[in-house]
Chains A and B, each alone.
Chain A
Amino acid sequence: MNPQLARVARVAMGLIVVLIAATTYWQTLARPGLAARQDNEIQRVAEFEVKRGLILGPSRVLARNVPEKRSGKTYYLRRYPQGALTAAVVGYSTISRSRAGLEKSMNGDLTGTDRALSDLVDQQLDELSGKPIVGDTVVTTLDLRAQRVALDALGSNCGAVAALDPRTGKLLVMASSPTYNPNLVENHFEKIDKVTANCRPAAPLINRATQGLYAPGSTFKVVTTSAALESNRFTPDSTFYDPGYCTVYGKRVNNFDTSSPFGNVTLAQGLQHSVNSVFCNIGKALGAKRILDQAKKFGFYERPPLETPDGERYPSGLYRNHELWYPARDQDVDAGRMAFGQERMLVTPLQMAMVAAGIGNAGIVMRPWVVEKIVSPQGKTVSRTRPERLDRAVGPVHAKQIEDMMVSVVQAGTGTAAQISGFRIGGKTGTAETGRPGVNTTWFIAFAGREGQRPEVAIAVALENQTSTGGETAAPIAREVMEAILRPPGNP
């Protein structure tokens, strides 16, 4: 009987070996897929057993943990000491409503699951000894004082402010208004639903700095000017005749202020005083695609790179039927109107801040970033963000020319409200029609720095539902925020 007995023994042992193989499959190959499934609560629950890493501003705690014992287990729930101040960037991490902001996109680091192997071994030892897993701390670049100034200045307006360091791409301010208190998301969501502001719906959970798509109005003229100079067909001294309007497809498009035709103006003057007909003619001369390709070099048609979740950042560009759209032929787009920021061009405040930053940084657009570094619980820096070049948008000579033109806008043009004594400011106003008479989206984009030095800050301010112009509404907000960044406390 022994030969067949040995065979049955092999089969019996083979059955157990098959079980080991199947277990291996589920615990290794199939694991990521199962963990990502929507109906899998384990990961979600388990992550609240992790002592989540902190989110820090340069000097303040933006998100911390509160341990809470429930049915014998310790769960770490989140608190946001800065409340609404940094909600747009930090987001929230809750049981009932999942996550948003850096809490969502940096979840792997905050829960310690994105670790290197050697750290994972330490982590396993900790787990075996029953200690809670401690996630990595995420340190942000935000300037909280300027962030506060920006939120206060936005007030009850709907809109956003995005400010970054043009030399490095480091994000300093990202404020969206109305905002919300992330501490209310878990248990008092109805209060967030009731937030009101100068727009309807108020939608406080939307980060308007990266999710708000607005017509750029005249701020887009900076892009058009870049295209004009880069084409080498125009210089700042190219002259145009302004009759007070521009004829596009046989239709008259008036300048914003129709009362006074400028007559003969140069390109530089056209930007300084935001003369629509000048850009209308440049647009018709260059064609839409040439301008759009210039816009792409500033980062249009891509989600602006930032560490916040992809879904919270929208790309800028032409939109058709709520979809980003790049025209196949020049004649599909009214280039004349697009050149001064109308047509179906929609942009985010962060993107326009990148345009101002590119001009301020000698034509080079730096990749924006808001995570300074990731630090392990032991205090070791796991990774540190290094400034990285996104693209060269314009050549250095042309960049300098546009920079000077933008400086003249603030010195003696439409953006005089942005002046800060002792600093060199360049800017561009924008007042975009929304189709409803008397209701505009107003803009101001700018860069600022010390005389004779590279600009230290670039900014974009966008406001919804304004009756006045960008120079009157957005430029003062930009000035306040830039001043808060340029003049740190104790160093007036």
Chain B
Amino acid sequence: MSARNRELVTLFLAGLVASTAFAAAWVQSANAIDYGWVPWAVLLGGIFVVAHVVTRLTVPHADPTLLPLTGLLCAIGLTFVYRLDPEDGRKQLVWVAVGVAAYCLVLVWLRYDYRILERYKYLFGVSAIVLLILPSAPGIGQRINGVRLWVEVGPLQFQPGEIAKIFLVIFLAGYLRDKREALARGRLKDFGPLLAIWGGAMLVLVQTSDLGSALLNFGIFLAMLYIATNRFSFVLAGLALFAGGAAMLYNSLDRVQQRVTVWLEPWTDDKVYCAINGALEYRQNCDSYQLVKSLYSIANGGYGGTGIGNGTFQTVDGTPLIPYLQTDFIYSALAQELGLIGVAAVLLLYLALVARGMRVALTAQDGFSKLLAAGLSFGFALQTFIIVGGVLRLVPLTGITLPFVSYGGTSIVANFAMVALLLLVSNRAVVTAR
């Protein structure tokens, strides 16, 4: 069977699973068995059939699993966003359509040779930094939930950091392919731009007070640096620099301090100072409220979960138990309703996505393609780790999105563009190998 036919069959299977999940959520919220979920399933299915057709036309030999994996994750996200807030669900469906449009655009635009991107690497690099700092620019930047991650232009709100991530990977892939030998030899002057990146990451950290996006971008950078140079000491040095810089800035970063405190000690037996109302409170009722409630939600899932639509996210009088459930904490909704079995399966979807992406990098022929695919795949893995790890109290909690699943437009569009790039690399790898 050709790659594209396998993709179509897998997409169909993913569609079945996704429709069942969505139908379950629908029936539960309507409290009656009706067919109101069918238009949703048809619409989402249609969107992915379009994606499939465009894929077939532009990159016929590309990896057949990436698109179905993306589709299934999108559908799970849509199901849960809808289940938590039907209005947001509607918007999310539109965003998935926009995301697929972006995916198709990237495929059509770069169908002959995506490697032209390498020519503009410095442009991408500079753009990445600009995009990252944009939210702290006066006038258009928005501080939401204490973190500067948003830009508002007219009626549109978007998170430039999500786009910056892709630009950064493109820049690094181009730059590192160029300089890898020189860097591997350890020539000091070649480290200039890298130190600039470190400085940029620190600047972003200070400007946005968001540890998560700084950690994500710097982590991608270190992984790509290591792949390019095979020098593990660079990774250690980079980590040390990052940790040192963060530690030096720590005292001036209230937000980060608070996140770290919450992470280390979410529950207190005595009342401590509460920054929200300035009074003495138990930390679980104040700063760590979200994290703690989210952990309760996860724990409540147990092995089998409560079942879709059966989870408890509100008190009896209808107040939400966990704020920002659809965005930062979507994982704890998944964990409660799907249980360990279901949520481990979702994580395995990410694992498969990362594994296939890395496989694309391994099979790619040239350095730029390898670094590009590896950077994008590692980005998926690290982003998932940072947000889910934050919710699970493995690392301090930061407000980044769970790829394809969290509610949020920019994130979905950016992730679709990343998958499109992976497919382009994959297609070329297969074609040149023949």
**Chain A residues at the B interface, C-beta cutoff of 8 Å:** 1-9, 11-13, 15-20, 22-24, 26-28, 30-31, 34-35, 37, 39-43, 45-46, 48-49, 70-75, 95, 124, 127-128, 130
Contact = CB atoms under 8 A, between A and B. Distances in A.
A19 B351 CA distance: 10
Interface in B256-302: 267, 282, 284-285, 292, 295-302
B340 A19 contact: no
A23 B355 contact: no
A3 B230 contact: yes
Q: 7 closest pairs, A vs B, by CB?
A: A9-B358, A12-B381, A71-B318, A127-B307, A15-B385, A34-B299, A22-B392
Contacts of B327: none
Interface stretch (B105-113, B342-350, B404-412): B342-350
Given A5-B362, A9-B362, A27-B303, 10 more contacts: A1-B370, A4-B230, A8-B223, A8-B378, A9-B355, A13-B358, A15-B381, A15-B385, A35-B299, A42-B296
Nearest to B354: A12
B361 interface: yes
Contact of A19 (B285, B297, B367, B392): B392
B355 A13 contact: yes
B381 A6 contact: no
A2 B364 CA distance: 10
Query: Is the contact region of chain B dominated by helix, strand, or loop, or is it mixed?
Result: helix
Contacts of A72: 29, 31
Interface in B383-426: 384-385, 388-389, 392-394
Contact of B374 (A8, A13, A35): A8
Nearest to B380: A12
A37 B268 CA distance: 12
Contacts of A41: 296, 315, 321
B28 to A, nearest CB: 5
Interface in B286-337: 292, 295-304, 306-307, 309-310, 312, 314-318, 321, 335-336
Given A31-B299, A41-B315, A71-B314, A130 B309 contact: yes
B266 to A, nearest CB: 11
A28 B228 CA distance: 41
B351 to A, nearest CB: 4
Contacts of A75: 316
Contacts of B336: 42
B241 interface: no
Nearest to A2: B362
A30 B298 CA distance: 10
Contacts of B29: 72
Contacts of A74: 31
Contacts of B302: 27-28, 31
A5 B224 CA distance: 9
Most buried by B among A8, A30, A41, A71: A8
A73 B354 CA distance: 38
A50 to B, nearest CB: 11
Given A9-B362, A16-B350, A39-B292, A46 B382 contact: no
Nearest to B385: A15
Nearest to B224: A8
A8 B321 CA distance: 38
Contact of B321 (A11, A16, A42, A127): A42
A23 B335 contact: yes
Nearest to B371: A1
Given A24-B340, A127-B307, A18 B370 contact: no
Given A4-B230, A35-B299, A39-B284, A130 B347 contact: no
A1 B318 contact: no
Contacts of A5: 227, 358, 361-362, 370, 374
Contacts of B299: 26-27, 30-31, 34-35
Contacts of B367: 1
A1 B366 CA distance: 10
Most buried by A among B223, B299, B361: B299
Given A8-B223, A42-B321, A23 B347 contact: yes
B317 A26 contact: no
Contacts of B28: 130
Contacts of A1: 227-228, 230, 367, 370-371
A436 B306 CA distance: 59
Contact of B300 (A2, A20, A43, A70): A43
A96 B172 CA distance: 58
A20 B317 contact: no
A220 to B, nearest CB: 44
A27 B340 contact: yes
B280 to A, nearest CB: 16
A3 B229 CA distance: 11
B377 interface: yes
Contacts of B378: 8, 12
B362 A16 contact: no
B382 A12 contact: yes
A23 B230 contact: no
B226 interface: yes
25 contacts: A5-B358, A8-B223, A9-B362, A12-B378, A12-B382, A16-B384, A18-B394, A19-B347, A19-B384, A19-B388, A22-B392, A24-B340, A27-B340, A34-B295, A34-B296, A35-B300, A40-B296, A42-B321, A45-B314, A45-B315, A45-B321, A48-B316, A70-B317, A74-B31, A124-B304
Contacts of B354: 9, 12-13, 16
Interface string B168-202: 00000000000000000000000000000000000
B161 interface: no
Contacts of B348: 16, 20
Contacts of A39: 282, 284-285, 292
B172 to A, nearest CB: 13
Contacts of A35: 296, 299-300
B339 interface: yes
A12 B358 contact: yes
A130 B292 CA distance: 27
A95 B319 CA distance: 14
A96 to B, nearest CB: 10
A124 B341 CA distance: 12
B321 A20 contact: no
Interface in B218-269: 223, 226-228, 230, 267
Contacts of B358: 5-6, 8-9, 12-13
Contacts of A4: 226-227, 230
A1 B354 CA distance: 18
Contacts of B41: none
A130 B296 contact: no
Nearest to A45: B312
Given A8-B227, A12-B378, A40-B296, A130 B307 contact: yes
